[in-house]
């Protein structure tokens, strides 16, 4: 008995007295039809002109005869197995109606298809739960006055941190050396090492604001957007492939979203706008008139790619079932809730959250906000596939700039003529070989014609299927019908859609985005400043980055968190403003070397040491050896899978680019990046793992690319310096961004001489170069290179 | 008394080579180290650690019989198929199928004779004569079922408990839970056919999902260079390699001396040393020519049909002996996926694997190791009792609703036959065993409670058995 489990508690039935409640109502019948039938008889596909989503529409389409199930067209078709048609069962990812479901329909029709109006009682929220710190708007706290340490207070960050440092009877560590600081901040802000020229300029600049100038230079560099865009893309789960399936299909147009994110960081797009565009960009612009499309429209539509990043196997059957679609929606909601709101909502899919005041009804009401764009019963498939249902539609918008469109039309007209000519030629051609050649040429042209600048977007379609709570997360157990709403802990007011730009849009996601970006939203700014903080100091003020709920870690410095959150909002939501404050604080400039402090008890009385992450290692190796092509944006370069499962990038035009521009697949990740903890996006990555495993030395010692790069670097160094000590000094400067210590120099000179002897002994020529290459290779393997002080 | 050592000392000792020596058989020793089992999430290293309770098995060898071995032709004889041969399956049998699955094709009897073997009288087909002799050590589960009828989702489910990628596989959970004794070899080793493509789902069959990559299976090739980057991809005089390593070591020690409270720098140095030892040990462990002629013969090495599979079985024994925690053995391609020509393709698959599989059981037993090693055999699903295609060349299609797996060693009650499928062998009907029941039973034998082994993922306690209702199949345990 799957019916009526819920309503005695939460539903008031208005049109019947409690004793006269019909056994089966439209809320039992419609969910069955949604699951089994509306794929062909619903919002978009309406076979036989029939819409089975409401009783009214059913009657209009003469789907049933009230009181007479056996005479109802609907039942007859199901029983005779005319519906669903056999071929659609496998193609459209639908399943035959189970006997129990058919019985529900029969019972409903037999009872005269009773309808009830269901009104949900408001969810009672425990007032104590509402008082949780993260549900209160942040207020700007007073800045602590710290006696006798004025010189250490660069900005209020230091005041908040020092108060606790001093209370713990600790002190800040002394400032790190200039070159250490330069290496740290350059990697942190751009993901690249400083160049020898930048090192020289900073060393020479003795002004008081020398470091501030460096921070400004780095924030203005396009490499900043690449680095910080990557952090956001981790959160969004950016990937150039669909995942879920063995084939891991390429996701062709996702890179535009990647470029949107990188550009947004470089332009310091206010965080509130950044969020608004990603959640509801389609509702901010009118893209209905092809002649009125401009760069702004394109940008806003591309931004919605944020909610199209989750792994999604629904292109192909048999993983395009309703359950599979619900997984995709569930992943997207969790990416948004966790990454942006710091809430774990996923558990509320099956039951009320056990610790936070998020009920199951909240979850489904929240999902209903997205329904006009993400509707499991009116699904847009990611891309075409061989065994797809003819009725399926794609989630790409053919929106382009008028000049692009014209250029494409002209190009296509030309291609059409050429194709036509070739086809005629082929018809006339007798020679089989030539015929095949002509066919090949025609296919190439046709493929070119298909190359359209599409946008993988999320867009509102004006209406949606109803949303029922799935009791215990089970699709077959529909609970109450819900309407779009925010989680009740934040607002018990009825949800008001916003006024969207353009026709036929619900404005639901826009309303959500507006609410999220209110200046006094309790979570939005806090969650973002915490994430920025984490990427500078190695851990968040709240260390559970995506859980600010009861089970999350309490903030180590709650007042600092609030101060930063308010500061962000009041400085036009500028992320670069945060970087400036953080990087120029005394805390950030501290040395990491204090031997008195254990790493087990982190405190802000020294900087943490950290390993280069996967991208810093890859991009750094290329930058240092002069092989990095700094071209930004555009289609990703391909990856290639070599023997033994070794995956490398395939450099495109202009050579190797930064790793974000190499195709990000969920399955075939570059071996180097994967070895150094690049995560597979399933669905996204909240925090990178930083492992120390034996595959890492094996890779750096034995990989041919690393070895070859070392040789190339050695050749460069030989051009710039002469003599064993000068070349070693230069190698240190380039690779570890500092001069060698006395001991290091002595050891390295000794090793270089030994290496030369070994090469000579092995009767190899060019031993000097080769020995230097081996030294560079060793330095690329050293802790001094792989770790940032 | 177990020695108390902390992380620092451990790595220092690794550096000294105390734990670096290749021991004759690490498996004979206490495999669990001194570290207590954590009530919280476990550390991300592969040092050995205590399970939740006293374990029966210390290592696992999983025969990944991917493709779907046909239960009604191997372990689950169905006399009723004689009666219904050539007819449609009566609907009463197919109703356990997932909703909407159409069951096409007429029923087809098995081409092979069955006989009862061992004390428990387990039925085994004539296609597996060697396995049949081992039935006293084997517990057969004839009531397994999976939730999907396609290879990919079914394999994800079978390996990781969910029908899509992203979740850690059984082997990853086991190495996360227990660590590994060998610090010179990967904790979780995969032996795939070197001559053929990887099985369906490829590397995702041994993925670590959201667990750190440290717990991912390492594919070792049984021919050529065993592991990616185990050896240099370029030529270099040996003296140069040595001098370079010495320089790295010296520089790292200087670096560390200025940063005494950074344990990660110690483990880094230890890792470089482990890398060097692994080069030697991984090469040695896979060198089956070090075994006696008699042992190689036992596994059918040198024989045309069994050489390929036999080598991997023997390597698996050498690996667990050296303290590797989890080994997966894959057969040649999709050899069990007999959609056509069942009459020839199934005997061929059996011929390749039957002797080496039985040999591994015998060899481990002779060495007194079978009690410590849990052997798993089976695929992601079985096959339908219906014929697929024209009868003359018929095969059988995928059958997820009821199929057979077996376990041996590691505290399993040999001679057991557990569970039943219906009269035609279509669906499991009695004592049904789900994939998560199977997972929980394996963890149980290793001393772990499937409800307590978790990974903290963004505040959620993720488990191998997720939130599916799960039970340990105690009936097959000694």
Residue ranges covered by each domain of chain B = 7-63+161-233+265-330+365-383+444-476
| pLDDT tens-place string over residues B378-395 | 999 999 999 988 888 899
B258 contact residues in A (CB cutoff 8 A): 593
CB contact under 8 A, B251 and A783: yes
d(CA A80, CA A753): 88
pLDDT number for residue A482: 95
A323 touches B: beta carbon within 8 Å = no
B39 touches A: beta carbon within 8 Å = no
pLDDT number for residue B33: 52
Pick the range with the lowest mean pLDDT from A264-273, A747-756, B222-231: B222-231
pLDDT number for residue B18: 31
Strands B138-145 and B416-418: parallel
Cα pseudo-dihedral A96, A98, A103, A106, rounded to 10: -10
Mutate which of A32, A702, A750, A788 to disrupt the B interface (most B C-beta within 10 Å)? A702
CB contact under 8 A, A693 and B271: yes
Residue B326 bridge partners (DSSP): B60, B188
For range A128-132, the mean pLDDT: 89
Looking at residue A354, the DSSP 8-state letter turns out to be S
What are the structure tokens assigned to A534, written together? 């984490």
pLDDT number for residue B104: 64
For range A749-756, the mean pLDDT: 96
Residue B224 has pLDDT above 80, yes or no: no
B460 contact residues in A (CB cutoff 8 A): 344, 346-347
pLDDT number for residue A601: 59
**Closest chain B residue by Cα to residue A87:** B102
Rounded to the nearest angstrom, the minimum Cα separation between A593 and chain B is 6
Residue B24's pLDDT band, with cuts at 50, 70 and 90, is very low
Residue A788 bridge partners (DSSP): A610
pLDDT number for residue A461: 95
CB contact under 8 A, A344 and B267: no
Contact B455, B208 (CB under 8 A): no
CB contact under 8 A, B186 and A747: no
Residue A655 has pLDDT above 60, yes or no: yes
CB contact under 8 A, B239 and A761: yes
Strands A118-120 and A11-13: antiparallel
| pLDDT tens-place string over residues B426-447 | 999 999 999 999 999 999 999 9
H or E segment to which residue A158 belongs? helix A156-167
Q: Is A447 helix (H, G, I), strand (E, B) or coil?
A: helix
Residue A241's pLDDT band, with cuts at 50, 70 and 90, is very high
Residue A565 has pLDDT above 50, yes or no: yes
B233 contact residues in A (CB cutoff 8 A): 702-704, 707
Q: How many residues in total does chain B contain?
A: 478
pLDDT number for residue A9: 39
Contact A249, A383 (CB under 8 A): yes
Residue A724's pLDDT band, with cuts at 50, 70 and 90, is very high
B41 touches A: beta carbon within 8 Å = no
A701 contact residues in B (CB cutoff 8 A): 229, 232, 245, 275
Residue B34 has pLDDT above 70, yes or no: no
Q: Is A760 helix (H, G, I), strand (E, B) or coil?
A: helix
d(CA A428, CA A173): 84
Residue A134 has pLDDT above 90, yes or no: yes
A749 touches B: beta carbon within 8 Å = no
A349 touches B: beta carbon within 8 Å = no
B102 touches A: beta carbon within 8 Å = yes
A342 touches B: beta carbon within 8 Å = no
Pick the range with the lowest mean pLDDT from A18-22, A494-498, B340-344, B468-472: A18-22
User: Looking at the predicted complex, does its ipTM rise above 0.95?
Assistant: no
Q: Single out the residue of A497, A509, A504 nearest to residue A462, CA to CA.
A: A504
d(CA A309, CA A258): 10
Pick the range with the lowest mean pLDDT from A248-257, A383-392, A399-408, A584-593: A383-392
CB contact under 8 A, B271 and A680: no
Rounded to the nearest angstrom, the minimum Cα separation between A80 and chain B is 15
Signed CA dihedral, A260, A262, A267, A270: sign only: positive
A675 contact residues in B (CB cutoff 8 A): 213
CB contact under 8 A, B229 and A779: no
pLDDT number for residue B20: 31
A778 touches B: beta carbon within 8 Å = yes
CA distances, A659 to each of A230, A250, A303, B130, B238 (Å): 10, 17, 21, 52, 33
Rounded to the nearest angstrom, the minimum Cα separation between B411 and chain A is 32
B123 touches A: beta carbon within 8 Å = no
- Whole-number mean pLDDT of chain B? 86
B253 touches A: beta carbon within 8 Å = no
A208 touches B: beta carbon within 8 Å = no
Residue B456 has pLDDT above 60, yes or no: yes
What percentage of chain A exceeds 90 in pLDDT?
A: 71
Name residues 581-620 of chain A within 8 A of B (Cβ): 592-593, 595-599, 609, 611
A42 touches B: beta carbon within 8 Å = no
Looking at residue B229, the DSSP 8-state letter turns out to be T
Signed CA dihedral, A525, A528, A534, A536: sign only: negative
Contact A720, A696 (CB under 8 A): no
Rounded to the nearest angstrom, the minimum Cα separation between B281 and chain A is 14
Cα pseudo-dihedral A363, A369, A374, A376, rounded to 10: 50
| pLDDT tens-place string over residues B66-107 | 999 999 999 999 999 999 999 888 877 766 555 445 566 789
- Whole-number mean pLDDT of chain A? 91
A335 contact residues in B (CB cutoff 8 A): none
Q: Report how many Cβ contacts below 8 Å link chain A to chain B.
A: 204
For range A434-454, the mean pLDDT: 85
A243 contact residues in B (CB cutoff 8 A): 165-166
Residue B464's pLDDT band, with cuts at 50, 70 and 90, is very high
Residue A12 has pLDDT above 60, yes or no: no
CB contact under 8 A, A751 and B256: no
d(CA A47, CA A57): 13
B44 contact residues in A (CB cutoff 8 A): 689, 691
CB contact under 8 A, B459 and A698: no
Name residues 107-166 of chain A within 8 A of B (Cβ): none
B197 touches A: beta carbon within 8 Å = no
What pTM did the predictor assign? 0.86
- Whether a cis peptide bond, with omega within 30° of 0, leads into B378 is no
Quick one: three-class SS letters along A646-696? CEEECCECCECECHHHECCCCCCCCHHHHHCCCCCCCCCCCCCCCCCCCHH
A674 touches B: beta carbon within 8 Å = yes
B262 touches A: beta carbon within 8 Å = yes
Compute φ and ψ for B116, nearest 5 degrees: -90, 145
CB contact under 8 A, B275 and A694: yes
Of B200, B256, B259, the CB nearest to A246: B200
Of B100, B221, B258, the CB nearest to A89: B100
A747 touches B: beta carbon within 8 Å = yes
| DSSP string over B166-213 | TSPPHHHHHHHHH--S-SSS-SEEEEE-TTSPPPTTGGGGG--TTS-G
A596 contact residues in B (CB cutoff 8 A): 261
CB contact under 8 A, A96 and B99: yes
**Closest chain A residue by Cα to residue B151:** A246
B40 touches A: beta carbon within 8 Å = no
Q: Single out the residue of B382, B384, B309, B313 nearest to residue B348, CA to CA.
A: B309
B213 touches A: beta carbon within 8 Å = yes
**Closest chain B residue by Cα to residue A703:** B233
């Amino acid at each position: 008995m799957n019916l009526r489990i819920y309503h005695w508690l939460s539903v008031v039935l208005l049109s019947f007295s409690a004793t006269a409640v019909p056994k089966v109502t439209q809320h039992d019948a419609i969910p069955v039809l949604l699951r089994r039938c509306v794929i062909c008889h619903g919002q978009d596909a309406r076979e036989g002109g029939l819409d089975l989503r409401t009783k009214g529409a059913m009657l209009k389409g003469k789907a049933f005869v009230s009181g007479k199930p056996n005479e109802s067209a609907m039942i007859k078709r199901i029983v005779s197995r005319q519906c669903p048609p056999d071929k659609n069962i496998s193609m459209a990812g639908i399943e035959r109606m189970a006997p129990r479901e058919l019985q529900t329909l029969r019972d409903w029709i037999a009872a005269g298809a009773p309808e009830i109006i269901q009104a949900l009682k408001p969810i009672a929220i425990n007032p104590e739960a509402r008082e949780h710190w993260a549900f209160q708007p942040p207020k700007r706290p007073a800045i602590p006055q710290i006696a006798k340490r004025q010189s250490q207070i660069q900005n209020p960050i230091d005041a908040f941190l020092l108060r606790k440092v001093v209370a713990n009877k600790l002190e800040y560590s002394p400032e790190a050396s200039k070159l250490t600081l330069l290496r740290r901040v350059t990697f942190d802000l751009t993901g690249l090492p400083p160049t020898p020229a930048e090192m020289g300029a900073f060393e020479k600049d003795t002004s008081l604001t020398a470091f501030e100038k460096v921070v400004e230079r780095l924030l203005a560099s396009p490499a900043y957007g690449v680095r910080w865009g990557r952090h956001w893309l981790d959160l969004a789960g950016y990937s150039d492939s669909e995942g879920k399936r063995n084939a891991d299909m390429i996701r062709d147009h996702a890179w535009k979203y990647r470029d949107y994110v990188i550009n947004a960081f470089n332009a310091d797009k206010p965080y509130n706008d950044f969020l608004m565009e990603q959640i509801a960009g389609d509702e901010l612009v009118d893209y209905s008139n092809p002649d009125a499309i401009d760069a702004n429209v394109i940008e806003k539509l591309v931004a919605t790619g944020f909610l199209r990043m989750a792994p999604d196997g629904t292109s192909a059957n048999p993983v395009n079932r309703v359950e599979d679609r619900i997984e995709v929606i569930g992943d997207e909601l969790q990416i948004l809730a966790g990454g942006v709101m710091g809430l774990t909502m996923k558990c509320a899919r099956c039951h009320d959250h056990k610790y936070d005041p998020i009920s199951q009804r909240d979850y489904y009401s929240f999902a209903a906000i997205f329904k006009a764009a993400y509707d499991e019963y009116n699904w847009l498939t990611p891309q075409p596939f061989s065994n797809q249902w003819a009725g399926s539609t794609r989630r790409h918008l053919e929106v382009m700039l008028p000049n692009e469109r014209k250029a494409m039309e002209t190009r296509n007209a030309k291609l059409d003529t050429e194709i036509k000519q070739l086809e005629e030629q082929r018809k006339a051609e007798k020679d089989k070989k030539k015929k095949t050649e002509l066919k090949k040429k025609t296919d190439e042209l046709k493929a070119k014609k298909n190359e359209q600048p599409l946008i993988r977007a999320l867009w509102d379609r004006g209406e949606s299927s109803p949303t029922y709570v799935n009791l215990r997360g089970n699709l077959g157990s529909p609970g109450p019908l819900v309407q779009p709403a925010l989680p009740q802990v934040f607002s018990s007011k009825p949800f008001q859609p916003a006024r969207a730009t353009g026709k036929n849009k619900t404005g639901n996601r826009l309303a959500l985005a507006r609410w999220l970006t209110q200046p006094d939203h309790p979570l939005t700014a806090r969650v973002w400043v915490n994430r920025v903080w984490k990427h500078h100091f190695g851990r968040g003020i709240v260390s559970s980055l995506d859980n600010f709920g009861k089970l999350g870690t309490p903030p180590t410095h709650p007042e600092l968190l609030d101060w930063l959150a308010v500061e962000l909002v009041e400085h036009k939501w500028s992320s670069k403003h945060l970087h400036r404050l953080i990087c120029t604080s005394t805390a950030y400039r501290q040395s990491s070397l204090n031997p008195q402090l254990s790493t087990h008890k982190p405190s802000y009385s020294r900087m943490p040491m950290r390993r280069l992450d996967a991208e810093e290692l890859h991009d750094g190796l290329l930058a240092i050896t002069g092989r990095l092509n700094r071209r930004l944006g555009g289609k990703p370069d391909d990856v290639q899978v070599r023997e033994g499962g070794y995956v490398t990038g395939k450099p495109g035009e202009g050579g190797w680019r930064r790793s974000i521009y190499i195709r990000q697949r969920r399955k075939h990740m570059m071996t180097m990046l994967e070895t150094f903890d690049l995560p597979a996006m399933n669905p996204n990555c909240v925090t990178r793992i930083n492992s120390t495993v034996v595959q890492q030395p094996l890779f750096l010692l034995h990989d041919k690319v690393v070895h070859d790069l070392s040789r190339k670097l050695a050749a460069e160094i030989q051009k710039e310096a002469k003599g064993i000590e000068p070349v070693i000094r230069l190698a240190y400067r380039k690779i570890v961004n500092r001069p060698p210590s006395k001991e290091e120099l002595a050891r390295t000179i000794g090793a270089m001489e030994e290496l030369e002897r070994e090469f000579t002994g092995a009767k190899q020529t060019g031993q000097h170069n080769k020995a230097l290459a081996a030294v560079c290779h060793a330095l690329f393997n050293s802790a001094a290179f792989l770790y940032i002080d | 008394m177990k020695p108390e050592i902390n992380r620092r000392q451990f790595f220092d000792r690794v550096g000294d080579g105390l734990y670096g020596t290749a021991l004759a058989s690490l498996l004979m020793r206490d495999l669990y180290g001194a570290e207590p089992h954590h009530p919280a999430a476990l550390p991300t290293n592969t040092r050995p650690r205590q399970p939740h309770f006293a374990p029966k098995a210390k290592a696992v060898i999983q025969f990944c019989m991917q493709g779907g071995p046909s239960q009604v032709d191997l372990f689950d004889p169905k006399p009723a198929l004689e009666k219904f041969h050539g007819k449609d399956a009566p609907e009463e049998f197919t109703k356990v199928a997932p909703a909407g699955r159409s069951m096409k094709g007429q029923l087809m009897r098995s081409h092979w004779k069955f006989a009862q073997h061992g004390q428990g009288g387990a039925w085994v087909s004539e296609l597996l004569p060697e396995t049949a002799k081992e039935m006293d050590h084997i517990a057969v589960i004839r009531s397994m079922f999976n939730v999907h009828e396609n290879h990919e989702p079914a394999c994800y489910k079978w390996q990781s408990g969910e029908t899509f990628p992203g979740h850690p596989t059984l082997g990853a959970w086991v190495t996360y839970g227990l660590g590994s004794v060998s610090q010179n070899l990967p904790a979780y080793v995969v032996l795939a056919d070197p001559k053929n493509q990887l099985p369906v789902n490829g590397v995702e069959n041994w993925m670590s999902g959201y667990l750190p990559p440290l717990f991912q299976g390492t594919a070792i090739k049984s021919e050529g260079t065993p592991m990616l980057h185990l050896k240099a991809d370029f030529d270099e005089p040996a003296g140069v390699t040595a001098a370079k390593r010495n320089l790295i070591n010296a520089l790292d020690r200087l670096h560390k001396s200025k940063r005494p409270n950074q344990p990660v720098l110690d483990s880094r140095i230890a890792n470089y040393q482990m890398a060097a030892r692994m080069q030697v040990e991984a090469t040695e462990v896979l060198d089956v020519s070090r075994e006696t002629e008699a042992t190689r013969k036992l596994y059918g090495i040198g024989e045309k049909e069994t050489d390929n599979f036999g080598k991997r079985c023997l390597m698996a024994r050498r690996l667990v002996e050296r303290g590797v925690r989890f080994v997966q053995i894959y057969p040649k391609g999709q050899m069990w996926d007999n959609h056509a020509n069942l009459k020839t393709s199934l005997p061929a698959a059996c011929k390749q694997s039957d002797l080496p599989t039985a040999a591994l059981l015998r060899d481990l037993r002779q060495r007194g190791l079978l009690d410590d090693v849990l052997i798993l055999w089976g695929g992601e699903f079985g096959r339908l009792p219906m014929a697929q295609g024209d009868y003359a060349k018929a095969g059988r299609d995928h059958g997820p609703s009821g199929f057979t797996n077996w376990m041996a060693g590691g505290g399993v009650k040999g001679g057991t036959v557990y569970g039943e499928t219906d009269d035609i062998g279509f669906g499991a009907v009695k004592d049904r065993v789900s994939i998560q029941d199977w997972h929980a039973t394996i963890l149980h034998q290793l001393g772990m409670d499937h409800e307590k082994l978790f990974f903290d993922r963004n505040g959620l306690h993720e488990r191998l058995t997720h939130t599916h209702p799960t039970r340990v199949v105690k009936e097959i345990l000694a």
